[in-house]
Amino acid sequence: MRIRLGAALASVLTISIGLIVLLGLLLPDDLEGAAGLVDATQEITAILLQIVTITVALTIIIGVFNLLTVHASRTARRGRGAIYSLVLLISFIAVLLTYVSDPDESTVLLETVQFSVESALAGLVLFALVYGAYRMMHERVTWARLLFVVVMLVVLIGALPFTNADGFRTMRDWLLEIPVSAGARGLLIGIALATIVTGVRVLIGVDRSYRE
């Protein structure tokens, strides 16, 4: 069997660092007879986590470089949507220059443009959902889809401030408290279990992401 040195090194590093961090997080502070080991492990864990934080912060530079190269090449090619890429590049330079000359002005720019556009988009989410529900029923009516739309309507009506909609309000509260809460917990438990299994796979080197 042929073993690549780089891949083996990556596996050894990942497994050993993973185990050290895990030990650092799991070992109790007051472990009898091993106080020195616990302190050392926790110190190494803290340093490793700091390195992760710094590395993640550095990826922002990679992200900005990626964004600029993608849009600069599209603008140069005059491909589809080149005008939007050009607007992005001009906006980027403008915000950068504004920030250098007056950081406060840059924040105002962000608040007046970015936040308002995002708020408008947030408003559109409701219409997208209602259209989605319509589309769903228009295509094919199944019991699951019917139940989904009925529950959605009950919850929406129950949330409205009508004086004579107590029945809907009670139904809405029950739905949110019992079935929705139970379903949500079920989903979250499932995700948590799968996360643990994936973590263990990474820890024992079964995951292929750093082996190739």
Partner 1 sequence: MDQTTVQVLSILILLVTLVLVAVPIRRKYALRRIAAYERMPELTGLAIESNRPLHISFGSVGIGGGSTLLALASADLAYHLSQRAAIGDVSPLISVADTSALPLGQDTLRRAYEARGLANRYRANNVRWYPAGGRSLAFAAAITGLMSTENVSSNVLVGRYGPELALMMDASNRRGLPTIAVSDQLEGQAIAYALTDTPLIGEEIFAAPAYLNDDGKQISESVAVDILRYGVILVMLVGLILELAEGS
CB contact burial 112-144 (16+ within 10 A = b; e otherwise): eeeeeeeeeeeeeeeeeeeeeeeebeeeeeeee
Binding mask 2-31 for partner 1 (x = CB under 8 A): --------------------x---xxx---
**Does 50 participate in binding partner 1 (rule CB under 8 A)?**
no
- CB of 104 vs partner 1, minimal distance in Å: 19
CB-nearer residue toward partner 1: 73 or 170:
73
Q: What is the tally of helices (H) and strands (E) in the chain?
A: 8, 0
Write down the residue that tokens 């409205």 correspond to: 160
Segment holding 149, helix H or strand E: helix 143-159
> Computed from CA positions of residues 72, 76, 79, 81, in that sequence, does the dihedral angle turn out positive or negative?
positive
Nearest CA among 43, 13, 11 for reference residue 25: 43
CB-nearer residue toward partner 1: 86 or 165:
86
Q: How many residues bind partner 1 (CB under 8 A)?
A: 60
Name residues contacting partner 1, limited to 125-184 (CB under 8 A): 125, 128-129, 131-133, 135-136, 148, 184
Q: Binding residues for partner 1, per CB under 8 A?
A: 22, 26-28, 52-53, 55-56, 59-60, 62-63, 66-67, 69-70, 73-74, 79-81, 84, 114-115, 117-118, 121-122, 124-125, 128-129, 131-133, 135-136, 148, 184, 187-191, 193-202, 204, 206-209, 212
